[in-house]
Structure 1
Amino acid sequence: MSEAAGVVKEEKEADHHPYRRPVDAATLILIDRTGPIPKVLVGKRHDKVVFMPGKFVFPGGRVDASDNRVPVAAPIPKELEANLLKGSPKTPPSRARSLAVAAIREACEETGLCLGAKSDGAAPKLDGVWKPFSDAGLLPDPSSLFLIARAITPPGRVRRFDTRFFTADASAITHHVQGVIHADAELVELVWVEIGSKPLADLHNMTKNVLGELEKRLATGPLSHDAAVPFFHFYGGRMHKDVLGA
């Protein structure tokens, strides 16, 4: 199972909080590959938020109940679903769909960039967090997503997430909601930055690990669902990297 049981540096057990069950979450890394060096989209968090204030992050957050109910323009690819079902704790197919949809919702909520497509028939009216899609005549479209990594926060942390990191090409962005990024928002700035550039040095350690996995994937050619997906999780006092399904 272990990919040389690689230990991820600087991720250790913390014992100052009681055990908390990880919450399912999803993160989306958008890539612009129109130039010689791929760029990824990062946002700078507000200095006054509780979690990682002032840090550059990729859009993401926990899965909501609505993520399993909202209609989509296309089903998630079978290969993507298969990757999401791998690993432990187990993920049922309905949860796999929710994770992919959550990544799209969080990206639209936090950055104003929406991955959607016209439906074949009359699109149902969506409200709440999904209203920007409905206003644009779109439904969320998870067909362009690829799974890059899965990571579970170590025990002992005040917040624990079982996060699936997705990526999609910038060409999948079909709608831009204006006014989402401003001085009082959760993200106060959006930047497309070249992989390896200075703003990315400020990322959380685990996020940097995942970005390194994406960089390796991009170096081998077009993204594929067949590539090995790393699984960062905790045991024996350290965070280790295994391969999902190995």
Structure 2
Amino acid sequence: MLPLRGVDLPTERFAATRPRDAASIILIDRSQKTPKILMGKRAAGHVFMPGVYVFPGGRRDRNDHTLPFAGDLDPLVHSSLQKRVSRPLGPAGARALALAALRELQEETGLTLHSSTGEAPDLSRLRFVARAITPPGHIRRYDARFFCVFTDETPLNIAAMRDTNELVDLSWLDMDALCSLNMAQITRSILEDVTKLMIVDPALSFENAVPFYFMRHGLAVREHL
């Protein structure tokens, strides 16, 4: 979703663009021997990264903090989301990022995560697995948080999945067979992070350190929150 390198754009024109809060959701189906991840291709009409495979997600809207939820984020997720931010998010702001990811999931794929007892989503199973800030020089810049959830941990109506004007060619793809897809380097890096982590920690425990990708003095940096 957020390239660290790639498209050449007039840096001086877009350098001052302030990153906007955004969130993506990585859905993992582990019902088979090789886990699968839901990805889609951004429609050709997009200004930002057309034709590139991404996780469902997008910009946080001002009303996301008012969306209903059945269960709150894990305290460790709340804590990690508060780190390295220029302005305090607070519990509601952190929760709004997760709700934005789930709202975008529904808008872009037709899929909705519900709790076992009602319509509102249960945020307690969402892991915070990565953060990335689009470098200066791009026409769109985002401070994106990436959440992950296993499909067997939350009710999900797979039959509702459909292509939209946002994402097309929606597919459940083997985690070990994604190298041929056209995707941004940051998307590939986050996939590699999650794949490697699942080898040593298949449950993706909440206490794992969160990779944070950004640019410093023109160089790509990977640190941990």
The TM-score by the shorter chain falls in which range? 0.7 to 0.9
Aligned equivalent of 1:66:
63
Structure 2 match to 1:99: 97
TM-score between both structures, scaled by the size of structure 2 = 0.88
Counterpart of 1:201 in structure 2 is 181
Q: Does 1:85 align with 2:79?
A: no
Distance 1:114 1:206 in 2: 26
Match of residue 134 from structure 1: none
Q: TM-score, normalised by structure 1?
A: 0.81
Letter in 1 for 2:141: R
Aligned length, in residue pairs:
218
CA 1:198–1:69: 2 relative to 1, 3 Å = closer
Structure 1 segment 73-222 matched on structure 2, within 5 A: 73-89=70-86, 90-117=88-115, 138-171=119-152, 172-175=154-157, 178=160, 180-181=162-163, 185-198=165-178, 201-221=181-201, 222=203
User: How much identity, in percent, do the aligned residues show?
Assistant: 38
Partners in 2 of 1:44 and 1:36 — Cα distance?
A: 25
Structure-2 change in CA distance of 1:115 and 1:142 (3 Å): same
What is the alpha-carbon distance in structure 1 between the residues aligned to residue 219 and residue 23 of structure 2?
Answer: 23
Structure 2 runs not aligned, ≥5 long: none
Q: Which runs of 4+ in 1 moved over 3 A?
A: 8-16, 175-180, 198-201
Secondary structure in structure 1 of the residue aligned to 2:81: helix
State the distance in 2 between where 1:160 and 1:20 align. 7
Could you list the runs of 5+ residues in structure 1 that have no partner in the other structure?
A: 1-7, 120-136
In structure 2, distance between residues paired with 1:37 and 1:91: 36
More strand by share: 1
CA contact (8 A) 1:23 1:161 kept: yes
Superposed CA RMSD: 2.3
Shift of 1:200: 5.6
Deviates more, 1:26-35 or 1:16-25: 16-25
- For the 8 Å contact 2:17–2:141, the answer to whether it is kept is yes
In 2, Cα distance between the equivalents of 1:118 and 1:33?
Answer: 19
Letter in 2 for 1:165: F
Contact 1:116 1:175 in 2 (8 A): no
**Aligned equivalents of 2:48, 2:121: Cα separation in 1:** 27
Distance 1:9 1:105, change over 3 A: closer
Give matches, 1:225-240, under 5 Å.
Answer: 225-240=206-221
Aligned partners of 2:4 and 2:42: how far apart in 1? 24
Bigger CA radius of gyration = 1
The answer (yes or no) to whether the contact 1:193–1:199 under 8 Å persists in 2 is: no
Change (3 A) 1:200 1:151: farther
